[in-house]
């Protein structure tokens, strides 16, 4: 029936798709290439002062009001509806209605499915010009023509049988034909939906559900690939990464505002258990939920206030609650909090730039024609010096260009003032003492055990949590910033040269030696890193000889983590808490289950634990809360490895942590000693 639309009644310009701002001919092409299924037709009346709130359209929909007055929102666009008015919205759009006078309307819910087989051109056209997701609203010039068709459509829907369903579909096509004709004659321009806003809103509303990229795309009426590409293009992150940020921010609120357990919070924000929450939270925030809460409770005053940088704190300031603005948390004060934070950082940055400029201008000229400030810089080789107009050489500072996930970055060849929100152990092992780090890093468990001087730690500025305190960061004047959380990079870049180096990749981590190599490449210290790696591998080979024969040929090893009354089995690759030392370094043979895990760990129930255990079992967190319920159970005691005594208890998942939490060189050295000593004790 729509085959003749482009030739009858719409005019030549419609047929050619020449209407300014519209591609109605493309819309017609798509209407002719889809299978339409009518999902529901309703005739509704809302009385005065009634509302329809936050109804998310389950499919594409037409809404045709025939009497009354109301304000109708489709997503963020509001339409003042009086008498006859047509609105169209796509799947996933949020519908709100506030009635001023009794509103009577019809709503038609339909689903458009691309008929197969079809050409790639049609598939691409549907992705770029999807009329079934377009939004438009207008008062038709010939409302009764539309009214006749929608009234008959609703009547036939209520009475439809098998044959009647065909009539329903035919009536919908007639309604669409009349609608498109009037759209054209009135010059109405459909709007593409803001897919990014829809996706973000949907994830913030449904973060507690087990969402996937596919399920989100399905709710928004688009393909998973299109959603992912568009989201990354405009938001510079993936939809699932954004969802993780939303869940992490909600977790922070619940940790600080309630006494809910980690398991309760996990179930509320969309994770199956507390451990899954902890792993994800650490990926986004940089420390465990328990550690985060303790660190926050330790802070007696608001460290975000610039006054703390300029004067001694003689009086503690009351802590303030934080709220959720622009997907970051900021302390609540009057006014636009997000903008105030940016103004403070920008103002301090401008002041620093002016200060440096004035210093450069007022510096005394040295005998070579350069300024005193230039004379104090690290000079480049003669080949890189540029001649000035007087035939004198202007000295340039050395720089290096490195490749990152955010593109190539030019950094100082020998940075002197390094700030990092992660990797402190890696930096210290390379002889790089940062001027500032995140709070958690200053109390990591390996520091004391590795014999790091207290004076070194005392000289490193505490920059708070994620994101690092931007005012303090500006004040430190870093010449290189290393950030591990993607959403914070933009703010860091406004302060200084920034390198993005993620610590977590999905729910797994890169190999610990690879992490060290990546850090060394930033500083041009690859040779130093390889020297340590060579010595470490020699120690590993020595350790292997010491433990030879404890794990007999053909036997396998499994690593079980007990935390928050839950059970986890660590994978052969990408895990944490000593799994890389046990499996990758010492080469102890993993079970088949551990080899098959796609992520760094797998959460299991106690009932299936025997299926995951090998001939020897390492148990991490045996003294933590809830561990006894597992270790004293009949199922645990019935496992063959337990009966034989091939059990190795180590480490703690509590808020203090241990050398198994991090994977820097110092931690790896300590882990190797700890695991070897466990096995040797068994040998005795």
Instruction: Give the pLDDT band of residue 594 (cuts 50, 70, 90).
Output: very high
pLDDT band of residue 517 (cuts 50, 70, 90) is very high
Q: How confident is the model at residue 23 (pLDDT cuts 50, 70, 90)?
A: low
**pLDDT (0 to 100) of residue 327:** 25
**Gyration radius (Cα) of the chain, Å:** 32
Find the mean pLDDT for residues 149-163: 84
Least reliable range by pLDDT among 34-38, 337-341, 659-663? 337-341
Q: Is the pLDDT of residue 648 over 90?
A: yes
Question: 146-160, 318-332, 347-361 — which is least confidently predicted?
Answer: 318-332
pLDDT, tens digit (0-9, with 9 covering 90-100), for 206-236: 888 888 888 888 877 777 888 888 888 777 7
Question: What integer is the mean pLDDT of 144-157?
Answer: 90
Burial classification of residue 92, based on how many CB atoms lie within 10 Å of its CB (0-12 exposed, 13-18 middle, 19 or more buried): buried
pLDDT at 43 over 90: yes
Query: 547: pLDDT confidence band, cut at 50, 70 and 90?
Result: very high
pLDDT at position 498 over 80: yes
CA atoms within 13 A on the CB side of 170: 7
- Enumerate the β-bridge partners of residue 112: 36
Residue 12's pLDDT is 37
For the chain, give the mean pLDDT: 78
- Would the pLDDT of 434 be above 70? yes
Phi-psi region of 272 (alpha: psi -120 to 50; beta: other; left: phi over 0): alpha
Record the tokens describing residue 492, joined without a space. Answer: 């860091």
Q: Which residue has the higher pLDDT, 86 or 188?
A: 86
Mean pLDDT computed over 293-315: 47
Residue of higher predicted confidence among 152 and 121: 152
Q: Which residues contact 64 (CB under 8 A, 6 or more apart)?
A: 84, 85, 86, 87, 105, 106, 107, 108, 146, 147, 150
Q: Minimum mean pLDDT among 23-32, 200-209, 477-486: which range?
A: 23-32
- Per-residue confidence at 349, pLDDT binned at 50, 70, 90? very low
Judged by DSSP in three states, 251 sits in helix
CA distance 56 to 38: 17
Q: Which has the higher per-residue pLDDT, 593 or 201?
A: 593
In terms of pLDDT, which residue wins out, 253 or 197? 253
Q: Is the per-residue pLDDT at 64 higher than 70?
A: yes
Name which residue leads in pLDDT, 362 or 300.
300
Highest mean pLDDT among 382-391, 508-517, 518-527, 561-570 belongs to 518-527
pLDDT, tens digit, for every residue of 257-284? 888 888 899 889 998 888 888 888 888 8
When pLDDT is averaged across residues 178-206 and rounded to a whole number, the result is: 77
Q: Which residue has the higher pLDDT, 121 or 174?
A: 174
Of 626 and 10, the structure prediction assigns the larger pLDDT to: 626
* Residues whose CB falls within 8 Å of the CB of residue 420, separated by 6 or more in sequence, listed in order: 427, 434, 437, 438, 441, 481, 482, 483
Overall average pLDDT of the 163-191 stretch: 81
Phi-psi region of 501 (alpha: psi -120 to 50; beta: other; left: phi over 0): beta
Q: Which residue has the higher pLDDT, 218 or 531?
A: 531
The 601-604 sheet, strands edge to edge: 601-604, 566-570, 557-563, 616-620, 647-650
pLDDT of residue 191: 59
Instruction: Report the pLDDT value the prediction gives residue 193, as an integer from 0 to 100.
Output: 62
Instruction: Look at residue 336 in the predicted model and tell me its pLDDT.
Output: 32
Q: Which DSSP string do the residues of 187-238 spell out, in sequence order?
A: T---B---HHHHHHHHHHHHTTS---HHHHHHHHTS-HHHHHHHHHHHHSS-
SS (H, E, C) 417-455: CEEECCCHHHHHHCCCCCCEECHHHHHCCHHHHCCCCHH
Q: What is the pLDDT of residues 350-366, one digit of tens each?
A: 444 444 444 444 444 34
For position 645, what pLDDT does the model report?
93
Answer yes or no: are the C-beta atoms of 422 and 503 closer than 8 Å.
yes
pTM summary value: 0.48
Domains and their CATH numbers in the chain: 2-185 (2.60.120.10), 195-301 (1.10.10.60), 332-355+398-502 (3.40.50.1980), 534-683 (3.40.50.1980)
């Amino acid at each position: 029936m729509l085959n003749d639309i482009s030739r009858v009644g719409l005019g030549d310009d419609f047929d050619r798709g020449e209407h300014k701002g519209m591609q109605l001919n493309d819309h017609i092409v798509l209407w002719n290439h889809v299978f339409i299924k009518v999902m529901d037709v309703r005739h509704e009346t809302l009385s005065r002062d009634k509302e329809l709130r936050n109804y998310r359209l389950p499919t594409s929909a037409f809404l045709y009001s025939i009497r009354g007055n109301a304000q109708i929102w489709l997503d963020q666009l509001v339409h003042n509806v009086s008498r006859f008015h047509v609105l169209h919205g796509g799947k996933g759009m949020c519908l709100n209605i506030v009635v001023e006078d009794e509103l009577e309307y019809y709503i038609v819910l339909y689903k458009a499915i691309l008929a197969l087989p079809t050409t790639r051109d049609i598939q691409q056209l549907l992705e770029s010009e999807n009329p079934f997701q377009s939004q438009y609203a207008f008062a038709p010039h010939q409302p009764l023509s539309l009214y006749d068709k929608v009234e008959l459509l609703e009547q036939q829907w209520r009475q439809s049988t098998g044959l009647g369903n065909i009539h329903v579909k035919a009536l919908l096509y007639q309604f669409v034909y009349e609608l498109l004709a009037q759209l054209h004659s009135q010059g109405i321009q459909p709007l593409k939906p803001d897919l990014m806003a829809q996706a973000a809103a949907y994830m913030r509303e449904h973060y507690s559900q087990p969402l996937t990229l596919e399920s989100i795309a399905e709710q928004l009426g688009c393909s998973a690939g299109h959603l992912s590409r568009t989201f990354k293009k405009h938001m510079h992150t993936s939809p699932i990464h954004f969802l993780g940020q939303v869940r992490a921010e909600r977790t922070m609120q619940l940790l600080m505002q309630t006494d809910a357990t980690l398991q309760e919070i996990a179930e509320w924000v969309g994770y199956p258990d507390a451990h899954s929450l902890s792993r994800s939270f650490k990926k986004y925030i940089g420390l465990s939920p328990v550690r985060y809460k303790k660190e926050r409770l330790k802070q007696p005053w608001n460290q975000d206030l610039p006054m703390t940088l300029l004067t001694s704190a003689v009086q503690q300031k009351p802590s303030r609650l934080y709220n959720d603005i622009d997907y970051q948390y900021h302390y609540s004060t009057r006014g636009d909090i997000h903008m105030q934070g940016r103004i403070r950082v920008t103002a301090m940055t401008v002041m620093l730039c002016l200060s440096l400029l004035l210093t450069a201008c007022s510096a005394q000229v040295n005998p070579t024609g350069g300024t005193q400030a230039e004379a104090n810089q690290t000079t480049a080789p003669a080949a890189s010096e540029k001649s000035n107009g007087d035939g004198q050489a202007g000295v340039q500072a050395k720089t290096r260009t490195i490749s990152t996930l955010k593109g190539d970055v030019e950094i100082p060849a020998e940075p002197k003032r390094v700030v990092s929100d992660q990797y402190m152990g890696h930096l210290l092992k390379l002889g790089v003492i940062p001027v500032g780090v995140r709070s958690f890093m200053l109390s990591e468990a390996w520091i004391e055990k590795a014999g790091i001087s207290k004076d070194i730690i005392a000289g490193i500025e505490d920059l708070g949590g994620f994101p690092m305190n931007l005012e303090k960061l500006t004040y430190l004047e870093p010449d290189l910033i290393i950030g591990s959380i993607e959403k914070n990079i933009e703010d860091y870049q406004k302060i200084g040269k920034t390198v993005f180096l993620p610590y977590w990749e999905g729910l797994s981590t890169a190999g610990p030696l690879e992490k060290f190599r990546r850090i060394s490449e930033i500083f041009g210290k690859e040779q130093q890193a390889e020297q340590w790696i060579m010595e470490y591998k020699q120690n590993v080979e020595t350790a292997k000889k010491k433990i030879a024969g404890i794990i007999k040929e053909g036997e396998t090893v499994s690593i079980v983590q007990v935390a928050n009354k839950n059970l986890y089995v660590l994978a052969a690759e990408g895990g944490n808490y000593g799994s890389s030392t046990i499996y990758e370094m010492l080469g102890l043979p993993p079970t088949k289950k551990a080899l098959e895990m796609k992520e760094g760990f797998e959460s299991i129930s106690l009932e299936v634990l025997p299926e995951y255990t090998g001939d020897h079992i390492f148990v991490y967190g045996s003294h933590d809360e809830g561990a006894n319920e597992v270790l004293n159970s009949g199922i645990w005691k019935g496992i063959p490895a337990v009966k034989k005594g091939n059990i190795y208890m180590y480490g703690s998942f509590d808020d203090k942590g241990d050398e198994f939490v991090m994977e820097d060189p110092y931690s790896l050295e300590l882990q190797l000693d700890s695991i070897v000593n466990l096995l040797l004790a068994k040998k005795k």
